[in-house]
């Protein structure tokens, strides 16, 4: 083991085999225990050193066996806090890995073997991940463990970043035996937290109600947050936060864990009989069985962990910076994002070049910067029953082709964007007729349709190649500035007709690897294109997608009141620049609720702004309102998209909702407050601001009133509903007085 790094972020006590990863903000400590078992010691605020405070308390606990072939009754893997627990050998808690040997045994017992340090962050081939631009920004500890009986080596990678309260972890299994084994479960990380009361905060949801923040006290037993849908899903985001019960938006300790992956995931929290909490996170073991041939290796996705001592806002801000700067790779990751108008809710499938022209004619004078042609431009698609898989223009609808639409858009001084749904196929398509076997499904069984679509077998490279070629045939010819990448169903009958029985359990992960491969190839080949992820709204709003696409559509639900919750929940992890938000029509298309243009605008301007309506149908008053929104947003989008975001008051708890954006130099701030229901005799309500410089005087530009930063944060402002009407919004812009 050679330690050659300068200004090391990782101390290794070679005598006691204790590893201490640290920066100015956090420390993560692990060590090697008796029998070479890798123990978890600490993750939390920075400490200077470690002097054995977390020595495992040895107690003879009945019915907790001891290390195999040893007699010390006070030492059991069943209660030892660990970093990556085995299976079927004395630790009855959730295993990190289950490996089936050729003889059928499912016993896994990894012991410490060695470690090494690497500058920067090693690349996880074929997977989305965090990265650093300069090797000096991070260091990585790789701890090697080995199950000698299986002949399998496990490499646990821990990366610490110089400037961030972040540790990333992943695992790699290498089969050094002579025989194949089957991986039934391989977690990316596991960690046993000491006994303490903990709340689990998760992001469950559904179609059109994504990422609804949920908080529950952990009790004995297993709490599981997972997706078995073949996608990270609308239903449960691959994220959990473990918070001390007193933690709120501004204070308290909280540990966040985010899986950088877009497929089936499993987060399990097991509160053991002595109150310790085991956190295990990775690819879901459901529908997963990976044949690992002799000599082969398996790399898990990565988990990004954040530790915050300044509550949930502190955690979110760390995630926002990390995802924006060191997960997203697009050249747009720090660019002002264009204000777009999308034709979906304006026309659905019913459009032609004239209709597009009328939207362009109306949108351009409003200052809107990009037009996106959504679903329906290809094959012979006039509804959602046909043509997925046929990525060539629908000449009946657009006789002059896509180049004509692109030119019309560019002639208006706007950028041009186009919709694709690369992973799915309609039975009524040329591609399906030519390759009916390119679809996921079990022979001699029915295949589940969803939105009348099948899923292409992206576990097979020739299928991915075909879609790549079809897409490049369009993108090479037509000047396109943006792509919306949709995926409108979840996976079923997950079986690849081109695989064999030994490898069938690999299909759902291989599917996602195929998706990543296509995204990698396209984003590399077209670096000028801004990609936006989408999956029937926000069904794949995850960090895996952010590696390829710096923004995502969070929901088909444009109702601003519903959006308050969706955007509030999404902001727990994902940066505002990634959260697209469009002004829709009133009444709203899905819900039918009527809201003012001001309310819709304020919610949409709290994200990456766009419009989801027919600009040609707007009244003159609405056109003026849109124009003013666009001007205002252009002035402030840098602050919204790249400022520091503070959640102030939650739509999950209160009738008043508030959030704000502060510039890095604290010279500017933008406050949004929303009152959901009006009241005749309203209780006075005060909103206190955050993140300002207390010594600074700020001018509120609308009123020209001056306030101290300390006043705005300590006294706050009345945000009592002054009107009796429902659904009202106020926007306040503050600028530091020179
Ligand atoms: C689902 C998306 O979320 C919508 O915005 C739209 O693109 C439709 N798909 C088109 O089919």
pLDDT per residue as tens digits for the range 338-377: 999 999 999 999 999 999 999 999 999 999 999 999 999 9
Same domain, residue pair 110 and 189: yes
- In this structure, what CATH number is given to the domain that contains residue 125? 2.70.98.60
Q: 436 to each of 178, 443, 471, how far by Cα in Å?
A: 38, 11, 20
CA 374–ligand 1 middle distance (angstroms): 7
Residue owning the nearest CA to atom 2 of ligand 1: 536
How far CA 730 is from CA of 251, 514, 603, 656, in Å, comes to 26, 45, 10, 11
In a domain, 651, yes or no: no
Q: Is residue 5 part of a domain?
A: no
- Looking at residue 363, which CATH number applies to its domain? 3.20.20.70
Average pLDDT over residues 252-275: 98
Q: Which residue, by CA, sits nearest to atom 11 of ligand 1? A: 375
pLDDT (tens digit, 9 = 90+) per residue, 10-24?
A: 999 999 999 999 999
For residue 36, give the 3-state DSSP assignment. Answer: helix
Q: Which atom of ligand 1 is nearest to the CA of 384?
A: 11
Is there a domain that residue 650 lies in? no
Task: Kindly give the distance from the C-alpha atom of residue 696 to the centroid of ligand 1, in angstroms, as a whole number.
Answer: 45
Residue that finishes a domain, picked among 606, 641, 676: 641
Ligand 1 centroid – CA 486 distance (Å): 7
Query: Which residue segment(s) compose the domain that 694 sits in?
Result: 656-736
Is the CB of 486 within 6 Å of ligand 1?
yes
Could you tell me if residue 3 is inside a domain?
A: no
CB 534 near ligand 1, within 6 Å = yes
Burial 27-50 (b: 16+ CB within 10 A, else e): bbbbbbbebebbbbbbbeeeeeeb
**Domains of the chain: total:** 3
**pLDDT tier at 3, thresholds 50, 70, 90:** very low
Mutate to test the pocket of ligand 1, among 349, 534, 538 (most ligand atoms within 8 A of CB): 534
Assess whether the C-beta atom of 321 lies below 6 angstroms from ligand 1. Answer: no
Cis peptide before 438, with omega less than 30 degrees from 0? no
- Ligand 1 centroid, distance to 635 Cα (angstroms): 29
Residue 4 domain flag: no
542 and 509 in a single domain? The answer is: yes
14 CA distance to ligand 1 middle (Å): 56
Confidence of residue 449 (pLDDT cuts 50, 70, 90): very high
* Confidence band, pLDDT 50/70/90 cuts, at residue 4: very low
For residues 308 and 360, membership in a common domain is answered with no
Q: Which of 300, 326, 352 is the last residue of a domain?
A: 326
- Tell whether 499 and 588 lie within a shared domain: yes
Give CA–CA dist 604/611, Å, rounded: 9
The confidence band for 2, taking pLDDT boundaries of 50, 70 and 90, is very low
DSSP per-residue letters across 62-93: TT---STT---TT--TTTS-BSS--BSSS--S
Q: Is 344 in the pocket of ligand 1 (CB under 6 A)?
A: yes
On whether both 561 and 509 belong to a single domain, the answer is yes
Domain harbouring 706, CATH code: 2.60.40.1180
DSSP reduced 3-state for 620: helix
Beta bridge partners of 195: none
Atom of ligand 1 nearest to the CA of 534: 3
- Confidence grade of residue 722 (pLDDT, cut at 50, 70, 90): low
Q: How far is the CA of 207 from the centre of ligand 1 (A)?
A: 12
Domain boundary among 607, 641, 675: 641
Determine if ligand 1 sits within 6 Å of the CB of residue 495. no
d(C-alpha 101, C-alpha 82), whole Å: 23
Task: Find tokens 């960690």 and name the residue.
Answer: 191
627 in the same domain as 714: no
**Cα dihedral sign, 652-677-537-318:** negative
Is 465 inside any structural domain? yes
Question: Which residue blocks in 377-443 are alpha helix, DSSP H?
Answer: 401-411, 430-434
pLDDT tens profile 543-600: 999 999 999 999 999 999 999 999 999 999 999 999 999 999 999 999 999 999 999 9
Q: Cβ–Cβ contacts within 10 Å for residue 714, how many?
A: 11
Predicted local confidence at residue 738, as pLDDT: 84
Residues 613 and 672 in one domain: no
Cis peptide before 392 (omega within 30 of 0): no
SS3 625: helix
Cα 328 versus chain centre, distance: 11
Asked if residue 264 and residue 289 are part of one domain, the reply reads yes
Q: Check: pTM over 0.85? Answer yes or no.
A: yes
* Domain annotation covers residue 309: yes
CA distance 709 to 697: 6
Q: How far is the CA of 546 from the centre of ligand 1 (A)?
A: 19
Would you name the residues annotated as active-site residues?
A: 486, 556
Indicate whether residue 417 lines ligand 1 (CB < 6 A): no
- Vertex 268, ends 263 and 269: CA angle to 5°? 155
| 519 and 591 assigned to the same domain | yes
Segment 668-695 mean pLDDT: 95
Pocket test of ligand 1: the residue of 346, 349, 351, 374 to mutate, having most ligand atoms within 8 Å of its CB, is: 374
Percent of the chain with pLDDT over 90: 97
The atom of ligand 1 lying closest to the CA of 553 is 3
Secondary-structure percent of the chain, ordered helix, strand, coil, rounded to 5: 20, 30, 45
Task: Say if 544 falls within a structural domain.
Answer: yes
Is the pLDDT score of 403 beyond 70? Answer: yes
Q: Based on the domain organization, do 79 and 178 belong to the same domain?
A: yes
The answer on 343 and 223 residing in a single domain is no
Q: 609 and 721 share a domain?
A: no
CB 672 within 8 A of CB 632: no
Identify the H or E element spanning 188.
strand 181-193
Tokens of 525: 């080949």
DSSP state letter for 42: E
**57-68 mean pLDDT:** 95
Q: Is the CB of 556 under 6 A from ligand 1?
A: yes
Q: Is the CB of 553 under 6 A from ligand 1?
A: yes
């Amino acid at each position: 083991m050679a330690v050659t790094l300068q200004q090391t972020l990782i101390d290794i006590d070679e005598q006691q085999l204790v590893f201490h990863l640290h920066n100015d903000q956090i420390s993560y400590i692990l060590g090697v225990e008796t029998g070479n078992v890798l123990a978890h010691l600490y993750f939390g605020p920075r400490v200077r050193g470690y002097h054995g405070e977390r020595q495992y308390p040895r107690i003879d606990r009945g019915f907790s066996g001891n290390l195999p072939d040893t007699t010390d009754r006070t030492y059991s893997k069943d209660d030892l806090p660990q970093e990556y627990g085995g299976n079927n050998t004395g630790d009855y808690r959730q295993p990190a890995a289950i490996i089936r040997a050729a003889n059928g045994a499912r016993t896994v017992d990894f012991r410490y073997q060695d470690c090494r340090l690497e500058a920067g962050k090693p690349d996880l081939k074929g997977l989305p991940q965090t990265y650093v631009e300069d090797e000096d920004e991070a260091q990585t500890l790789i701890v090697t463990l080995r199950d000698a009986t299986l002949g399998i080596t496990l490499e646990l990678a821990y990366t610490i970043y110089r400037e961030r309260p972040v540790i990333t972890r992943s695992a790699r299994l290498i089969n050094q035996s002579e025989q194949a084994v089957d991986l039934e479960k391989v977690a990316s990380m596991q960690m046993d937290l000491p006994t303490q009361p903990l709340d689990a905060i998760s992001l469950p949801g559904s179609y059109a109600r994504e990422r609804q923040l949920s908080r529950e006290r952990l009790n004995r037993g297993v709490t599981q947050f997972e997706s078995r849908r073949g996608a990270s899903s609308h239903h449960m985001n691959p994220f959990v936060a473990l918070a001390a019960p007193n933690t709120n938006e501004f204070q308290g300790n909280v540990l966040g864990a985010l899986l950088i992956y877009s497929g089936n995931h499993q987060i399990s929290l097991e509160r053991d009989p002595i109150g310790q909490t085991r956190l295990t996170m990775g690819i879901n073991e459901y529908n997963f069985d990976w044949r690992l041939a002799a000599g082969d290796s398996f790399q898990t996705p990565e988990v990004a962990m954040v530790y915050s001592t300044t509550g949930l806002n502190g955690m979110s801000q760390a995630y926002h910076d990390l995802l924006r700067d060191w997960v997203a790779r697009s050249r747009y990751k720090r660019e002002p994002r264009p204000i777009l108008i999308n034709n979906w809710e304006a026309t659905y499938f019913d459009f032609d070049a004239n209709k597009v022209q009328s939207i362009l004619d109306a949108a351009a004078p409003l200052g809107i910067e990009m037009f996106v042609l959504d679903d329906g431009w290809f094959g012979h698609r006039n509804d959602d029953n046909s043509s997925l898989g046929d990525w060539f223009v629908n000449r009946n609808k657009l006789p002059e082709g896509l180049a004509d639409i692109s030119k019309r858009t560019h002639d208006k001084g706007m950028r041009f964007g186009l919709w694709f749904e690369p992973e799915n196929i309609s039975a009524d398509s040329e591609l399906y007729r030519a390759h009916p076997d390119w679809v996921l499904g079990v022979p001699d069984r029915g295949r589940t349709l969803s939105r009348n679509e099948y899923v292409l077998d992206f576990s097979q490279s020739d299928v991915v190649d075909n879609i790549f070629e079809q897409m490049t045939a369009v993108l090479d010819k037509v000047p396109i500035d943006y792509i919306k990448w949709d995926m409108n169903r979840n996976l079923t009958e997950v079986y690849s007709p081109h695989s064999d029985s030994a490898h069938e359990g690999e299909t759902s992960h291989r599917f996602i690897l195929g998706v990543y491969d296509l995204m990698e190839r396209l984003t590399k080949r077209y670096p000028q294109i801004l990609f936006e992820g989408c999956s029937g709204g926000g069904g794949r709003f995850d960090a895996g997608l952010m590696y390829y696409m710096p923004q995502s559509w969070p929901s088909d639900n444009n109702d601003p009141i519903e959006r308050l919750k969706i955007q509030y929940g999404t902001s727990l992890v994902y940066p505002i620049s990634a959260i697209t938000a469009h002004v829709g029509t009133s009444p709203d298309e899905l819900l039918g609720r009527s809201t003012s243009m001001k309310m819709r605008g304020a919610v949409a301007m709290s994200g990456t702004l766009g419009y989801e309506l027919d600009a040609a149908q707007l009244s003159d008053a609405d056109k003026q309102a849109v124009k003013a929104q666009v001007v205002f947003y252009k002035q402030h989008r840098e602050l919204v998209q790249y400022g520091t975001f503070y959640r102030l008051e939650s739509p999950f708890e209160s009738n008043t909702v508030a959030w704000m954006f502060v510039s890095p130099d604290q010279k500017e701030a933008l406050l949004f407050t929303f009152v959901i229901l009006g009241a005749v005799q309203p209780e006075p309500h005060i909103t206190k601001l955050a993140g300002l410089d207390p010594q600074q005087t700020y001018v509120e530009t609308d009123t020209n009133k001056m306030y101290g930063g300390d006043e705005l944060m300590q006294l706050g402002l009345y945000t009592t509903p002054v009107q009796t009407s429902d659904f009202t919004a106020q926007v306040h812009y503050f600028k530091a007085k020179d």
